[in-house]
Structures are given as structure tokens and as C-alpha cells.
């Protein structure tokens, strides 16, 4: 790949990551995404309780809570592992713990130790399905939902 193509690809990725709050499903449900951390690969995701993300019984719509968690572990791991790996979302489960009202938020982060473990396992086993967990909490710090995301990771041929 030429230097120019490589540079264009990096710019496109940066634009996508910086504009993710404007992705229609997030914008439409009021989900706000902020990039944090030294590499800007930690994501703080929040959602205020509004009339358009409220369900029949007056709490956050479960689909909106799940939407908060959809791509972030995959995006982080793709960036941290680099171009030599395939990373896909494989499955997800959401466990509702309490009714969600007000501002809810969570942080998505994968530390370097986890990334090294994943690389090692993929080298030995050819593929790996790591599971990541995120807790969505309300303003008081009470867990309203737990999301389990299973990814599929393989080294590119």
C-alpha cells in the first residue's frame, strides 16, 4: 500500500471515530460518544432520558440501552491489534438490572494486557472469541444493565 493510501485510510478512520455521535441511530436516540484516553480509544458513552428514547412504562427503551454498547469493543480491539487481524462482533447479551431513567453512561476500554493476551491466544489457537463486559450505570452509579459482547478474532492470512 502506498504511503498516500495508508494516510487516507488513517484519516478516514479518524473521521469515523470522531463523528460517531452523529451516526443516525446514535443521534436519533440521543446517545453521546466521547473519545478519551491517551490513544483516544477509550469511549465514554452516555444517553439522557428523553421522550424519544422512553418505552411504554416510562423508562429507557432497552434497544437504546443496547445501542450504546454495539460497536465499541470491536472498534477498540481492531485499532489496538492493527491491520494484521480480523475482528468481528459475534454475539451480545444484555441483562437488565434496574429501570433506566435519567442520564445513563458507560465506558469502553481494553487495556494493553488484554490485547497481549488476545494476541498470544490467537497465535496459539488461530482464532479466539474474547468476552467483554460493560456496565451501564445511572447518575447515582447504580447498574441498570450489563452488556456481554463476544468478539471473534483471527489473524489475517
What's the structural domain count of the chain? Answer: 1
Q: pLDDT in tens for each of the 157 residues of the chain?
A: 566 666 666 666 666 666 777 777 788 888 999 888 777 789 999 999 999 889 999 999 999 999 998 889 999 999 999 989 999 999 999 999 999 999 999 999 999 999 999 999 999 999 999 999 999 999 999 999 999 999 999 999 8
CATH of residue 91's domain is 3.10.129.10
Measuring CA to CA, how many Å separate 110 from each of 23, 59, 98, 99, 130?
23, 30, 26, 27, 11
Instruction: Output the pTM of the full model.
Output: 0.86
How many angstroms separate the CA atoms of 30 and 9, rounded? 29
120 phi, psi to nearest 5 deg: -60, -45
Q: What domain range includes position 74?
A: 3-155
Tell how far CA 120 is from the center of its chain: 22
Q: How many other C-beta atoms can be found within 10 angstroms of the C-beta atom of residue 95?
A: 11
Q: pLDDT, tens digit, for every residue of 16-53?
A: 666 777 777 788 888 999 888 777 789 999 999 999 88
Closest of 45, 153, 43 to residue 109, by C-alpha: 43
Contact (CB, 8 A) for 47 and 88: no
Amino acid at each position: 500500500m502506498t504511503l498516500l493510501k495508508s494516510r487516507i485510510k488513517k484519516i478516514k478512520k479518524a473521521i469515523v471515530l470522531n463523528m460517531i455521535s452523529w451516526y443516525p441511530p446514535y443521534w436519533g436516540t440521543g446517545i453521546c460518544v466521547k473519545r478519551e484516553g491517551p490513544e483516544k480509544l477509550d469511549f465514554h458513552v452516555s444517553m439522557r432520558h428523553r421522550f424519544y428514547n422512553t418505552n411504554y412504562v416510562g423508562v429507557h427503551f432497552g434497544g437504546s440501552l443496547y445501542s450504546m454498547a454495539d460497536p465499541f469493543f470491536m472498534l477498540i480491539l481492531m485499532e489496538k491489534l492493527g491491520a494484521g487481524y480480523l475482528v468481528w462482533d459475534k454475539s451480545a447479551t444484555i441483562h437488565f438490572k434496574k429501570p433506566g431513567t435519567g442520564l445513563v453512561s458507560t465506558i469502553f476500554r481494553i487495556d494493553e494486557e488484554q490485547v497481549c493476551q488476545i494476541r498470544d491466544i490467537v497465535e496459539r489457537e488461530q482464532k479466539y472469541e474474547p468476552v467483554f463486559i460493560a456496565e451501564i450505570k445511572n447518575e447515582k452509579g447504580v447498574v441498570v444493565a450489563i452488556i456481554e459482547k463476544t468478539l471473534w478474532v483471527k489473524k489475517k492470512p
